[in-house]
Amino acid sequence: MPEPVSPKPAAVLFDMDGTLVDTEHLWWQAAVECAAELDLALTDADLPEVLGQAVEHTAAHLHRASRTTLSELELAVRLNDSFTGKVAAEVVPRPGALALLAALRDAAVPTALVSASPRRVVDLVLGTLGSSWFAVTLAAEDTPRTKPQPDPYLAAAARLGLDPADCVAVEDTPTGVASAHAAGCAVLAVPSAVPIAAAERITLLDSLEQADLALLAGLTGLR
């Protein structure tokens, strides 16, 4: 008798910062240092305005909070330059990330990288993590709107030729979860620094080490 075919998801769409690589703390450091230059001290209350957010969002937050004469564009450039330098010096995969990517590759499950970071940061990370894991990579510049809007995940599914409802998105922040959920994806959430609330079609884990093909395949059936 033929061996039973193991279930597997149609595709898995991964966030990058804080999900696959431990870079969220670097983004927070960049924001803290930029804020300090504006005589502004960031606290835990500022986390939702920084972690998981596009650079434009964080720059706008710093601009409002500090009332600086610098423009939001100037702040965004400072944030980007600082974050890029930190990423270039330190890229560490999250626990379980490489093992899960390897399992998906071995099972011929297509994957996409769906990031709100600029392309130059994405390419820096891919230079360490490896670009061959992904059939598609999307950065902030690749869609008209970035997270929390659904555009990045809709674009990733479209490039793979799949219905977003058949894809599992893996995220670590409420902003990313909102983007994937709005696109219609099933969501596996592994919170990094900001808590994520349980909701329909959102499954919470403590670590990617707890994820496997069977779990991911089952998520798209929770409709």
14 DSSP β-pair partners: 113, 170
pLDDT at 1 over 70: no
Task: Please classify residue 22 by burial: count the beta carbons closer than 10 Å to its beta carbon, then call 0-12 exposed, 13-18 middle and 19+ buried.
Answer: middle
pLDDT at 223 over 70: no
pTM of structure: 0.84
Over residues 112-148, the pLDDT tens digits come to: 999 999 999 999 999 989 999 999 999 999 999 999 9
Instruction: Identify whether the C-beta of residue 131 lies closer than 8 Å to the C-beta of residue 16.
Output: no
Burial 64-75 (b: 16+ CB within 10 A, else e): eebebebebeeb
Tokens of 141: 């510049």
Give the pLDDT confidence score for residue 5 in this predicted structure: 56
- What's at 190, amino acid-wise? V
Omega within 30 of 0 (cis) for the link into 9: no
Tokens of 204: 């919470």
Task: Please classify residue 202 by burial: count the beta carbons closer than 10 Å to its beta carbon, then call 0-12 exposed, 13-18 middle and 19+ buried.
Answer: buried
Beta strands per DSSP E along 123-215 = 136-138, 167-171, 186-189, 202-204
Instruction: Identify whether the C-beta of residue 187 lies closer than 8 Å to the C-beta of residue 208.
Output: no
- Between CA 149 and CA 50 the distance in angstroms is 16
Over residues 54-91, the pLDDT tens digits come to: 889 999 999 999 989 999 999 999 998 998 888 888 88
Directed axis angle between helix 24-37 and helix 72-89, to 10°? Answer: 140
